[in-house]
Chain A
Amino acid sequence: MSTGSNRTYCDGVARRDFIQIGALMGMGLGVNLPMWESLRASTPDRSGKAKSAIFVRLMGGPSHMDTFDLKPGAPSTHRGEFKERSTLVPGIRMCEHLPRLARTNDKFSVIRGISHSLAAHELGQKYLASGNRPIASLQYPAYGAVVAREIGSTNALPPFIAIPSQSDNPTGYLGMQYGPFETGRTPQKGQPMRVRGLGLEQGMTLEDIQRRHNLVQRYDTAFGTLAQEDKLLAGMDEFSQKSYQMIRSRETREAFDLSREPESISSLFGESGFSQSCLLATRLVESGVPFVTVSFGGWDTHQDNFSQLKEDNLPQLDDGLGGLFEALHAKGLWDSTVVFVTGEFGRTPKINERGGRDHYPRAMVALMGGGGIHGGQAIWRIGCKRAKAPKDRIFTPDDLAATLYRCLGIDHHKEYLTPTGRPVMLVRNGNPIQELLA
């Protein structure tokens, strides 16, 4: 479904629903070359520390060089207008317009020098949301869908909630029953979020809801055993069960009610939609939701990169993430929640003639913190000039995915069977980033 968070990207396309990966993608052409050899033998999986994850998607591709990976030594054609500032962690510097994050960066780590080669939004987003480079013949599931399947619901709340939406076919080969519950809008400060259809409507009681649910079950028998075999029917049944639990549950209604949040917590957040989304994410995690996606659009800064970042994006990011980190701490959720913040790619080091930066998958930056993550680091970096070989290693989105799964205690080498019976590994090409693991 379409939602307010969707922005139109440089190619004029507002992403909606799932876009078939068209022919833009490389296919397995018989020769699959891992770009970099893995430098470390994979170590045995240890059980994850985190019970929940919050995945913050900066849609459009934030400029790494104007956020967490500034290059003050670069020529003026590249380095940008922003200055670096020191942070709580000696030796780590970041953009001057992220004061709050600079004060809280003992909690999270900055991963620089992440690199891939998909410069289109939808492909990059799919890659970063799944840890698998998209291919035409197979749709990979996003993390949330995997968590929905591996961890599942701990209570009446759905296991995978997207604020406000995540609609690029995030379930892939796992099937639609693992899809996200989309709030459909961003929450507003101090308001119970009225998620349409979750209230007790028309004076109905919980007994009514239960009676009605039984009634549907009694009449919904036309397809017999096909209901278990058919993907569509199985998906509908799954949602039917789920919606029954959700509508019945008081827990559900309260989880979406930001007005129940004490002042000490709600005051940590700004009023922007992103900030409030972060607040909602903490509430949902507190209520036992294992995976929450927060999408924050507007990072596709082909023009006026600096004024847009300075006036709009960075203050919101600073407030939202700062609040998120602090609130998780305050609620005692920090060690059981892993937070992963990323865009789909970085932006070109060279500033274009419109004062913007264009797509640049060769270098990007991500943040990770929380349960299982060793915070207060900035790890690895590559040079800013495109053609130069990286100084050290390059991280891939696959590595980030493997790290995330490790934190959640999910074996990233687990194999699933697709509906056609093909075995597929959860993340084949990535390895957890050891420096990050606490």
Chain B
Amino acid sequence: MMMAALLGEPTVSAAGTQPAVSEPCDLRFGGTGDEVPVSFRRHVIPLASRLGCSSRECHGSFQGQGELRLSLFGYDFEMDHQALTAENDERIDRNHPENSLILKKATLQEKHRGKKRMDVGSWEYNVFLNWIKSGAHNDAETSGAFLKLEILPSQIQFLRSGELVELKVLAHWDNGDVEDVTGMTRFQTNDESVATVDKRGVVTAVGSGDTHIVAFYDNGVAPVEVLIPWDSELARKYPALRTRTEIDRLVLAKLSRLGIVPSEVCGDEDFLRRVRLDLTGTLPTPDEVMRFLHDPSPGKRQAKIEMLLNTPEYAAWWATRLCDFTGNNNQQMPERNFRNEFSTQWWEWIHQRITQNVPYNQIVRGIVLASSRSSPQESFEVYATEMSGYLQKNEPGSFADRPSMPHFWARRNVRTADEKALSISHAFLGVRIECAQCHKHPFDQWTQQDFSQFKDFFEPVRFGRNPADNPKQTGKSYASILAEIEESTGYDRKMGTNRKAFDEEIKRRVAMGEPVPWQEVFVDQRFSGSPTLKNPNQKRRLNTRVLTPKLLGGEAVMLATYSDPREPLMDWMEDRENPYFSRAFVNRVWAHYFHRGLVEPADDMNLANPSVNEPLLDYLAGGFIESGFDMKWLHREILTSDTYQRSWRPNDSNRYDERNFSRMILRRLPAEVVHDAIQQATAPSSEISHMPSKIDGRAIGVKSSILSANTRNGLGYALNVFGKPERLNNCDCERSNQPTLLQTIYTRNDPDVLTAVTGKEGRTYRWADEIREQLRSSAPAQNKRADRKSIQSELQKVRVAYQDHTKNKPVPPEDPDPAAQQRYRKSMRQYQNQLQALKEERDNLVSRLESPSADSPTSQNQVALEKAINEVFLRTLSRLPLSHEFQNAMHDIHSAPNAADALSELLWALLNTKEFLVNH
């Protein structure tokens, strides 16, 4: 057995302070004596889990198996104890422990569909046997609290495949016990092509790369990094590479261990196009490309990033991304007549804050703590008038100026406390806790109790009609306004009659800025600890439940001290010690700029899914907090790094690495960006320079928030084909950047794209129309033969005219009269001038026919063509053509019947290259 170099070998601290570690399980329980105490929580349940008894396929199934059901992933000690020790059952026989059914089944002394799980007399057998002998008690309450899982070694660096390392797992308990629980731990590898692990915890190196082995015990989940270099020589003698930024240093630290040298920094064209598309969702314009390429200043990349951070397109695109993260879905908006308006408000509210670079935590604060009324004292009428005021026809108020944005809580798919808990944890913590709704989270520490306590924060957060809105308050109430409108329209809610009239009246009132019965987001004060409950019926209905919500992995909160339970939650989220809030956002932004997050999937942070570069994630998350949650700091930090600016060209050492950012991995452009890029690349010159900053109508702007998910026309169709997220599930995977056949069919042959490219048949003026006119006015390039023919026929005409003209030669007058002589000289001059002109024209035509350049366009036209070819490349690929590309293009155009059509065909072709459709 080869043993690998072990990093992180347990460093033994001074004797005495180190608690005594128990012996390994097989030694401890291997004897036949029953003197070794066995704990239900510490030993029986974890072992049952490792043996597979409580797995989903077996007794962990919600239906149980063979009439025995254990809790999935084993954390419900009470339930499991009851299941195992139920009366009238022979599973546990305290009088004759060896006869217990659980032992006989698991050793196949009795028929067991789950086959043999252990041998009679094995240490595993002894654990169960001794537990039964000692009375089969449940000690979950008395075993003390589990503190943490420690794995030794904490990191494994193999040199080559085939090497082995044995893991040791220590469980730390709050009474100071440290137990070797290796034999009771479940292990998994996150990538079997790198390393495998067996049930004893022996890790085998399989192939180059890096991954994690994860250990599960009690509710502890601990990953161990395993790494096998791609090139161990290179890893040992890694070249000294310059690192410009902290990001680069941290990325390189990992690459050096893997024996990977990163790719070069990319060229200016690639950089400009990449950063433009990523940061602003917008292609650079031809002028912008040329100016950037010609800019000699060494700091121009930094300056460009800075400039882009202040553009409207940056704010629009990132407002859209934040709407992705927060789930702005118009179909889920509450008021059926104003769904798009609500989604627009949501987008605009975020957009304004991104424009002003409001700190990220402040934006989240405005969403998380939002209620519909500006203050609890505000009357319904004032509130309702204000809401209508944002949507009225004349001089509507600015919703974005509101300090808070309540629509997050108003969504129809986020009504229960469970849904709210899931939405909050996904949107702002990057944590998926849905598993813990029903059972212990298989990959994380969350238990059902954690979930149910966390969701208590959201019990009082309601959407609907505010019960505090009572008739005694000043002004009109929800009920009175509703009654008013129902009466005036004859709407009968039960029967559904006159619903249309009712809707029309609502719309009319809103357009006038008049109050309508708006529902609202509010905190139900009946839940707070304050003794405001007057109505005993209400009290009974709410079961006088005292909520003591618990923060995820944090402390329980006494709600009595808060009128809004979301306040302590928000305080906890933005606390610098919070383990999720900053990391979740930083990781999502990283995933936006690269092909993956540092944690991937970017929205699935769990203990079994560790970051590929923990120090880097730490650095960015910490720096983001330090910066005061300054999003521009984060963008700048990433974009200015060499890591972001690496070329996509692989080298020999990084060809197979797609995990560690050693080169830029190509990414298909996001749906909104593809759509806008096609529109911009085909726009007339008069428009193109304004297009990046003109947000109206752009897909990267509010449009992507208000298009119906199922639309199959126009912009909506394109966005769906290219995988715009529906923002319905709590999953970042809703956005798909995979290519499909329909996408290719769209860019090649969709009527919308063809119209944008070729112009003439469309309603709008396109670049193709413009170039058509331009070439016409500067003598269009013509077909060679047609051109030659026309020259010949022209020449023929001139020759005939010349001949004819000679016949007109004036005859000198015989009359010596000076006046006659004068007339003669004059007509002679005219004759000769005319003759000369015809001669010149003839010579010109002859030379055009004879000279090699005779069949090429005029030089003026030639210049226009050259310019147009460059323009097509700049518009689409954001670079000038290479010389062979240029020659090809020129050749294509000359051999085409019509130069303008050939140019628009070139434009179409370049839009269909991979180079256009991916960010590289």
Residues of A within 8 A of B (CB): 1-4, 12-14, 16-20, 22-31, 33, 35-36, 117, 119, 136-137, 158, 176, 179, 181-182, 184-185, 196-199, 201-202, 212, 215-216, 218-220, 222-223, 226-227, 229-230, 232-233, 235-237, 239-240, 242-244, 246-247, 362, 386-387, 418, 420-422
List, in ascending order, chain A residues with CB within 8 A of B186's CB. 29-30
List, in ascending order, chain B residues with CB within 8 A of A387's CB. 63-64, 67
List, in ascending order, chain B residues with CB within 8 A of A16's CB. 709, 726, 728-729, 734
Quick one: given A27-B188, A226-B648, are A117 and B909 in contact (CB under 8 Å)? no
**Chain B: interface size category:** 35 or more
List, in ascending order, chain B residues with CB within 8 A of A2's CB. 709-710, 720, 726
B739 touching A235 by the CB < 8 A rule? yes
A22 touching B604 by the CB < 8 A rule? yes
Q: For residue B915, which residue of chain A has the nearest CB?
A: A222
B434 touching A230 by the CB < 8 A rule? no
B874 to chain A, nearest CB (A): 14
Provide a sorted-by-A list of 10 A–B residue pairs whose CB atoms are within 8 angstroms: A1-B721, A16-B734, A20-B731, A23-B432, A35-B57, A201-B750, A202-B761, A226-B648, A232-B666, A239-B741
Q: For residue B650, which residue of chain A has the nearest CB?
A: A226
B745 touching A23 by the CB < 8 A rule? no
A247 touching B918 by the CB < 8 A rule? no
B580 to chain A, nearest CB (A): 16
List, in ascending order, chain A residues with CB within 8 A of B198's CB. 30
Residue with the greatest number of chain B CB neighbours at <10 A, chosen from A31, A235, A420: A31
**Segment among B189-197, B462-470, B638-646, B771-779 that sits at the interface with chain A:** B189-197
Quick one: given A181-B742, A197-B748, A240-B744, are A28 and B188 in contact (CB under 8 Å)? yes
Residues of B within 8 A of A (CB): 50-52, 55-58, 60-64, 67, 113-115, 186-188, 190-193, 197-199, 207, 209, 413, 419, 432, 434-435, 441-444, 601, 604, 606, 648-650, 655, 666-668, 709-710, 712, 717, 720-721, 723, 726, 728-729, 731, 733-734, 736, 738-746, 748-751, 754-755, 758, 761, 877, 885, 888, 892, 905-906, 908-910, 912-915, 917-918, 920
B917 touching A4 by the CB < 8 A rule? no
A394 to chain B, nearest CB (A): 11
Quick one: given A2-B726, A23-B443, A232-B668, are A422 and B742 in contact (CB under 8 Å)? no
B212 to chain A, nearest CB (A): 12
List, in ascending order, chain A residues with CB within 8 A of B56's CB. 26, 117
A142 to chain B, nearest CB (A): 14
Q: For residue A36, which residue of chain B has the nearest CB?
A: B113
List, in ascending order, chain B residues with CB within 8 A of A137's CB. 190-192
**In the complex, A19→B910 CA distance in Å?**
33
Quick one: given A2-B710, A19-B731, are A243 and B741 in contact (CB under 8 Å)? yes
A93 to chain B, nearest CB (A): 27
**In the complex, A236→B738 CA distance in Å?**
9
**In the complex, A166→B741 CA distance in Å?**
13
Q: For residue A227, which residue of chain B has the nearest CB?
A: B914
**In the complex, A227→B710 CA distance in Å?**
33
A198 touching B749 by the CB < 8 A rule? yes
Q: Which residue of B64, B712, B723, B743 is within 8 Å of A239 (Cβ)?
A: B743
B188 touching A197 by the CB < 8 A rule? no
Q: Which residue of B61, B435, B905, B914 is within 8 Å of A233 (Cβ)?
A: B914
**In the complex, A232→B665 CA distance in Å?**
10
Q: Which residue of A14, A158, A239 is within 8 Å of B726 (Cβ)?
A: A14
B914 touching A181 by the CB < 8 A rule? no
B450 to chain A, nearest CB (A): 14
Residue with the greatest number of chain A CB neighbours at <10 A, chosen from B188, B199, B441, B888: B188
List, in ascending order, chain A residues with CB within 8 A of B52's CB. 29-31, 33
Q: For residue B64, which residue of chain A has the nearest CB?
A: A387
B442 touching A27 by the CB < 8 A rule? yes
B728 touching A201 by the CB < 8 A rule? no
B644 to chain A, nearest CB (A): 19
List, in ascending order, chain A residues with CB within 8 A of B441's CB. 23
List, in ascending order, chain B residues with CB within 8 A of A247's CB. 745, 748-749
**In the complex, A162→B758 CA distance in Å?**
32
**In the complex, A179→B50 CA distance in Å?**
38
Helix, strand, loop or mixed for chain B's interface?
loop
Quick one: given A30-B50, A215-B892, are A220 and B736 in contact (CB under 8 Å)? no
Residue with the greatest number of chain A CB neighbours at <10 A, chosen from B442, B741, B920: B741
List, in ascending order, chain B residues with CB within 8 A of A212's CB. 748, 905, 908-909
B667 touching A232 by the CB < 8 A rule? yes
**In the complex, A418→B207 CA distance in Å?**
14
B746 touching A197 by the CB < 8 A rule? yes
Quick one: given A14-B726, A117-B56, A181-B741, are A33 and B114 in contact (CB under 8 Å)? yes
**Inter-chain pairs besides A16-B709, A31-B51, 8 sampled, C-beta below 8 Å:** A12-B413, A176-B740, A197-B748, A215-B906, A215-B909, A219-B910, A220-B915, A421-B193
B742 touching A24 by the CB < 8 A rule? no
Q: Which residue of A136, A244, A420 is within 8 Å of B193 (Cβ)?
A: A420
Q: For residue B186, which residue of chain A has the nearest CB?
A: A29
B435 touching A20 by the CB < 8 A rule? no
List, in ascending order, chain A residues with CB within 8 A of B728's CB. 13-14, 16
B609 to chain A, nearest CB (A): 9
A66 to chain B, nearest CB (A): 21
Quick one: given A33-B57, A197-B746, are A420 and B435 in contact (CB under 8 Å)? no
Quick one: given A30-B198, A240-B744, A420-B191, are A176 and B739 in contact (CB under 8 Å)? yes
Q: Which residue of B115, B668, B888 is within 8 Å of A218 (Cβ)?
A: B888
A216 touching B912 by the CB < 8 A rule? yes
Quick one: given A222-B915, A240-B744, are A386 and B57 in contact (CB under 8 Å)? no
Q: For residue A386, which residue of chain B has the nearest CB?
A: B63
B683 to chain A, nearest CB (A): 19
Quick one: given A16-B734, A232-B918, are A4 and B435 in contact (CB under 8 Å)? no
**In the complex, A216→B755 CA distance in Å?**
18
Query: What 9 pairs between A and B have smallest CB-CB spacing?
Result: A31-B52, A26-B56, A197-B745, A220-B913, A420-B193, A243-B744, A239-B744, A222-B915, A215-B909
B652 to chain A, nearest CB (A): 13
List, in ascending order, chain A residues with CB within 8 A of B67's CB. 387
**In the complex, A420→B190 CA distance in Å?**
12
List, in ascending order, chain B residues with CB within 8 A of A420's CB. 191, 193, 209
Q: For residue A235, which residue of chain B has the nearest CB?
A: B739
Quick one: given A18-B733, A29-B52, A212-B905, are A242 and B741 in contact (CB under 8 Å)? yes
B740 touching A33 by the CB < 8 A rule? no
**In the complex, A394→B751 CA distance in Å?**
52
Residue with the greatest number of chain B CB neighbours at <10 A, chosen from A33, A36, A418: A33
List, in ascending order, chain B residues with CB within 8 A of A201's CB. 749-751, 754
A393 to chain B, nearest CB (A): 13
A236 touching B909 by the CB < 8 A rule? no
B654 to chain A, nearest CB (A): 12
Q: For residue A3, which residue of chain B has the nearest CB?
A: B710
A31 touching B729 by the CB < 8 A rule? no
List, in ascending order, chain B residues with CB within 8 A of A117's CB. 56-57, 61, 63
B736 touching A18 by the CB < 8 A rule? yes
Quick one: given A239-B739, A246-B745, are A33 and B442 in contact (CB under 8 Å)? no
B426 to chain A, nearest CB (A): 10
A13 touching B729 by the CB < 8 A rule? yes
Q: For residue B655, which residue of chain A has the nearest CB?
A: A229
**In the complex, A222→B270 CA distance in Å?**
12
A1 touching B915 by the CB < 8 A rule? no
B188 touching A220 by the CB < 8 A rule? no
Q: For residue A179, which residue of chain B has the nearest CB?
A: B740
B511 to chain A, nearest CB (A): 32
B63 touching A362 by the CB < 8 A rule? yes
List, in ascending order, chain A residues with CB within 8 A of B604's CB. 20, 22-23
